[in-house]
Chain A
Amino acid sequence: MKNSFDEKILDEAQDWIKANQKVVLATVIQTWGSSPRQVGSRMIVNEKGDFSGSVSGGCVESAVVSECLSLIKDKKPCKKIEFKVSNESAWEVGLACGGEIAVYIEQIH
């Protein structure tokens, strides 16, 4: 369904900021093939690595968290990350579903 006015992820981002946490916003900006979450899906990550929301069906969230942590550490404003189909290595991050997604991460400052 189209973006809901009731979706709470951005409200949660504001709550985290009010609690003096550093927040990175991750947004799905492009998808190819059978990706699990549609363009505009969101997730937030704080400096401790806590996260809420989703950008995939659980396939790439851990990689997005570590990218967000590096963004905070390196004091960078934003970054675009692409995830492709996972290969046979179980430890490699990728989309088991066979789709590809691009995720944009940005600090809220």
Chain B
Amino acid sequence: MKLKTLEEILKKKSSKTEFAILTNLENGNSEIYMPGTSPEGEFSKYTNEIEKFFKSKKNGVIENSEIFVETYIKPIKVIIVGAVHIAQYLVDFAKSLNFEISIIDPRGYFASEQRFPDIKVINKWPKEAFEEIETNSNTALIALTHDPKIDDPALQFALKNKFYYIGALGSKKTHENRCQRLSEAGFTNDEINSIHGPIGIKLGGKSAPEIALSIIAQLVSETYKK
């Protein structure tokens, strides 16, 4: 690989642009491919196969060839409501996984940049904050404030927009009350039951990093069920 190619790859990675690295395993030539474009020269006849790798989110060698394709696809968007202590550990764990985190918290003293360097923190109420974030069925929501006036509007938004993972922090009792409120707001039992509450897989831990670990473990597991 040419140093120039490596530098270009790093640039694409830091701007989180989708791309693929194409390598000819026979002669060592490599090239960067942008989805939707036509590769040049020796890679030109493999456009369809390369696009297939993008669609299946996989890496591999194109059949009956010596061309290796490595795709970089957009990270999964994870929205955290509540810039609390647990969120700080979630940010740490998410760094080495393919998750891109945004945090919503209307409480300015929580949502400070100093507590969350390098993370998009939106210091607004969920309803206004969601206007700033593009979301779809590939988005996950983690509600951590256990304050109904902050969490509930976010949970309702996530249910309506069919996020693939919705989790809410709080005791069993807190969650029962939450389900009751969502039911009164017109959500079906199926929708309400799709919320992971109390959030996280059972690890037994009670500290902030332990709870964050149990949440991120559940999120990874649900991501693979997609």
- A80 and B220 alpha carbons, distance in the complex (Å): 32
The interface bits of chain B over 81-118 (1 if a CB of A lies within 8 angstroms of the residue's CB, else 0) are 00000000000000111100000000000000000000
Most buried by B among A4, A30, A104, A107: A4
Kindly list chain B residues whose C-beta atoms are within 8 Å of the C-beta of A29: 25, 60-61, 68
Q: Does A25 lie at the interface of the complex (its beta carbon under 8 Å from any beta carbon of B)?
A: yes
| Chain B binder among A9-17, A45-53, A58-66, A93-101 | A9-17
Known: A5-B72, A11-B10. 11 other contacts (CB 8 A): A2-B57, A4-B75, A4-B97, A10-B6, A14-B7, A17-B3, A30-B60, A38-B59, A77-B27, A78-B28, A106-B30
A-B contact pairs, 29 of them (CB 8 A): A1-B220, A2-B73, A3-B59, A3-B71, A3-B73, A3-B98, A4-B97, A5-B13, A5-B75, A6-B95, A6-B98, A7-B96, A13-B6, A14-B6, A17-B6, A29-B25, A29-B68, A30-B60, A30-B61, A38-B59, A39-B60, A40-B59, A77-B28, A78-B28, A80-B25, A104-B23, A104-B25, A104-B68, A109-B2
Q: Count B-side interface residues using an 8 Å CB cutoff.
A: 32
**Residues A21-44 near B (CB distance < 8 A):** 25, 27, 29-30, 38-40
Kindly list chain B residues whose C-beta atoms are within 8 Å of the C-beta of A77: 27-28
Check A108/B75 contact, CB under 8 A, given A14-B10, A30-B61.
no
Most buried by B among A7, A13, A25, A78: A78
Q: Is the interface of B mostly helix, strand, loop or mixed?
A: mixed
Q: Can you list the 5 inter-chain pairs with the closest CB atoms, starting with the nearest?
A: A78-B28, A40-B59, A77-B28, A4-B98, A39-B59
The smallest beta-carbon distance between B218 and chain A, in angstroms, is: 14
Q: Count A-side interface residues using an 8 Å CB cutoff.
A: 27
Kindly list chain A residues whose C-beta atoms are within 8 Å of the C-beta of B201: none
Kindly list chain B residues whose C-beta atoms are within 8 Å of the C-beta of A39: 58-60
The smallest beta-carbon distance between A6 and chain B, in angstroms, is: 6
The answer to whether B58 and A10 have CB atoms under 8 Å apart is no
The answer to whether A106 and B6 have CB atoms under 8 Å apart is no
**Which residues of B approach A to under 8 Å, CB–CB?**
1-3, 6-7, 9-10, 13-14, 16, 23, 25, 27-28, 30, 57-61, 68, 70-73, 75, 95-98, 220, 223
- A14 and B1 alpha carbons, distance in the complex (Å): 12
Which residue in B1, B13, B95 is a CB contact (below 8 Å) of A108?
B1
Kindly list chain A residues whose C-beta atoms are within 8 Å of the C-beta of B10: 10-11, 14
Kindly list chain B residues whose C-beta atoms are within 8 Å of the C-beta of A6: 95-96, 98
The answer to whether A1 and B98 have CB atoms under 8 Å apart is yes
CB nearest to B68 among chain A residues: A29
The answer to whether B98 and A2 have CB atoms under 8 Å apart is yes
Kindly list chain B residues whose C-beta atoms are within 8 Å of the C-beta of A17: 3, 6
- A82 and B197 alpha carbons, distance in the complex (Å): 46
The smallest beta-carbon distance between B140 and chain A, in angstroms, is: 13
Kindly list chain B residues whose C-beta atoms are within 8 Å of the C-beta of A106: 1, 23, 28, 30
The answer to whether B68 and A27 have CB atoms under 8 Å apart is yes
The smallest beta-carbon distance between B143 and chain A, in angstroms, is: 23
